[in-house]
Amino acid sequence: MSSFLWQSLIASAVLTVLLNVVPRLFPSATRRAEQRVQDTITEHLREQEEPSSPGPRVKVFFPWKAMLLISVVLTVVVNAAGLFFR
């Protein structure tokens, strides 16, 4: 159990470093992603202020594709780490 705790702490630290370093390695991709988020927010705010068609005011966003992809990737990573640390 103690080795699992250490592995989890190390993995957490590595992931934190990666999430902070990757945007610095690809600044243009980070700017494009930020611009897309801002455009999407602006579009949704404009749609709320000027509804073009009557319909439900609440839209539910369920990112099932992203959840599926993240689940598969994390499964592969955890299994690979398990094989590596045995």
In a domain, 75, yes or no: no
Structural domains in the chain (count): 1
pLDDT the model gives residue 70: 92
**What is the pTM (predicted TM-score) of this model?**
0.41
In a domain, 15, yes or no: no
Residue type, 62: F
In a domain, 42, yes or no: yes
Q: What percent of the chain has pLDDT over 90?
A: 27
DSSP classification of residue 85? T
Range of the structural domain that residue 31 is part of: 24-51
Confidence class for position 24, pLDDT limits 50, 70, 90: confident
In a domain, 29, yes or no: yes
Three-state secondary structure call for residue 21: helix
50 vs 12, 14, 42, 80, CA distance in Å?
44, 45, 12, 50
In a domain, 56, yes or no: no
Q: Hunting for tokens 């202020």 — which residue is that?
A: 49
